[in-house]
Amino acid sequence: MRRQTGVQLLLVGAVGALVLAADHFLFHWVLLTESMLRRVLF
Amino acid sequence: MDALRGTIDDIFYGAIIVPLGLALILFQLVVLVVAVRRRRRGRPLRSLRLHAIAGLSILPLPVLIGFSVHAARATMLAAFTASEDVFASEKAMALSHGMAGQMSAFPFATSTIVVSLALWSIGLATTLSASQPEGRARSFPPVALIPIGLAPLALGVVNWSARLIKTFAAMAGVPPQDKGTILEGTLEIARGELTAYARVSMIAIPVLTLAAGVLTVMRARGGAPASDATAAAGRSWRLPLLASAAAVVVAGLLVLEARPIAAENALPWPPNRGNLLVYPNGPATPDLIGPDPMSFMPVVEQFRDHVMLDRAPLQDLGDLEERLTTLRNNYQLLHPGGDSADVALILVDAATPSARLTALMRAVRGAWFYRPTFGFTKTEHHDRPVIGNLERVIVTGAQIKLEYTDDEPDADDAGAWKDAVELRLKDFADYDAFARRLVELRRAGKPVVVKVPRSAG
């Protein structure tokens, strides 16, 4: 039972890390369009 | 319907993505209706297979959107690096299509994915919360809480796109020289807002992760019935362990992939000093920065051995005077009663002797362009992490009043130009020496008059 909970907690932590990384990536990926626009203005 | 057709046209691969997105929402709705009706009849779905299929069916949409945005950006990058042989209108079309592709893809993708996920979650919750034959209800695995932390970012992306689309729409009546400033202002505000939304997500995700951890422990301690996922995990600890490893690997890949993009976004863009000259490889003008503003005007280029007007090669200075006169006449026909066209941008090779400069200015004055601006070009090079190597020619100017030596004094001579300093071209060995004195005077705020003889004799 304890091992099961430990594994579940590990999964929670890993998914947390994945979602945080996705947040970081998506923010910059969307914002890259701003650079494309600034390149047009350049 | 027109808006939908517009979205299909704007988004790259829109003919696949838009119908798929709409079909996805419809499919989630059908699954939700099935789950609700089965539960009402007291025969809830035993297996979660239908919900699993519905959940997995959402996955292709973000992948396709990724390809679509990538294609839109590749189109723009190709237009940026296109050779001079490609027509400017073709480049402008490619840039406009690429930008519209991104600006339409983001809100469509975000709203479609969020709506699909919401419908899917409600359907799944309906089935899970129904009592099983043994009398116990199943529940969501706590780990499902964590992705909710992305909701603020999703909202931010929709808000960011909407702000930019509104600015583009309002740009129609704005004078061309003001468009850049307005767009830059909007970009600053929009970035600030998107950053704020992303920050909320960045805080929400660890908080939700912590909450999911606490819930997991509480359920284990309380001996609460395991969720389906937990039950499956109970049978084998290998699956969650493998899922954890996969999640960590994907997280690492995402961080690595984001590094150059984040560096690109963090690197400030150089300010727009002066106007952008559309023609590269112009004459080697003196190394100066002029203080005077410029607007759109005809561009006269005096090279060592030839002269050009708006990049068209000319036979001689007589040809220049004739074509400038035609431009002026055309302008006045198109703007009856408006301001007269008396401004032209003059780019001259620094080593041009003063005799040639005098002949050039005589042709300019002959066509009644008596408020010319001498332009000074500088080529800037920038290396950016994603966009790559950039080069641009910036032009700044110094304006003069150009007269024939025998011109009658006009109203300006008693007004704004009363204290004007007169420069005689023959006093300078070449254009470089003249330009240095001109910029010095203009920087000191002095108006400058240049007089040229009406005839070459």
At a CB cut-off of 8 Å and minimum separation 6, what does B181 contact? none
What pLDDT band is residue B131 in, cutting at 50, 70 and 90? Answer: low
If DSSP codes are grouped into helix, strand and coil, which group holds residue B299? Answer: strand
10-residue stretch averages of pLDDT, chain A, 42 residues long: 84 96 96 90 76
Residue B214: pLDDT above 70?
yes
pLDDT in tens, B9-59: 899 999 999 999 999 999 999 999 999 998 888 777 777 889 999 999 999
Residue A30 parent element (H or E): helix A2-41
Between B274 and B182, the more confident residue is B182
- In this prediction, residue B233 has a pLDDT band, given cuts at 50, 70 and 90, of very low
How far does CA B38 lie from the centroid of its chain?
50
Alpha carbons B51 and B57: distance in angstroms, whole number: 10
Contact B140, B227 (CB under 8 A): yes
Q: Which residues of A touch B93 (CB under 8 A)?
A: none
Q: What is the pLDDT of residue B455?
A: 83
**Average pLDDT of every residue of chain B:** 88
As to burial, measured by CB atoms within 10 angstroms (0-12 exposed, 13-18 middle, 19+ buried), residue B289 is middle
Q: What is the ipTM of this complex?
A: 0.94
Question: Contact A19/B217, CB-based, under 8 Å?
Answer: no
Higher pLDDT, B64 or B335: B64
| pLDDT score at B274 | 56
Residue range B267-314, pLDDT digits in tens: 998 876 556 666 778 999 999 999 998 777 899 999 999 999 998 999
Put simply, the chain A residues between 1 and 42 with a CB less than 8 A from any chain B CB are 1, 3-5, 7-42
Residue in A12, A21, A36 nearest the CB of B212: A12
Of the candidates B16, B22, B29, the one whose C-alpha atom is nearest the C-alpha of residue B1 is B22
| Average pLDDT estimate for B366-386 | 91
Say which residues have a Cβ less than 8 Å from residue B127's Cβ, sequence separation at least 6.
B35, B38, B39, B44, B45, B48, B51
**Residues in chain A within 8 Å Cβ distance of B237:** 3-4, 7
Q: What is the mean pLDDT of residues B71-86?
A: 84
In this prediction, residue B364 carries a pLDDT of 95
d(CA B143, CA B240): 11
Host H or E run for residue B275:
strand B275-276
Who wins on pLDDT, A1 or B191? B191
Of B106, B213, B240, the CB nearest to A7: B240
CA distance A34 to chain B (A): 7
**Residue B69 has what pLDDT?**
96
B414 confidence band (pLDDT: 50, 70, 90): low
Q: Count the Cβ atoms, other than its own, within 10 Å of residue B428.
A: 18
Q: Chains A and B: how many Cβ contacts under 8 Å? A: 179
Helix, strand, coil shares of chain B, percent, nearest 5, are 60, 10, 30
Over residues B123-137, mean pLDDT: 76
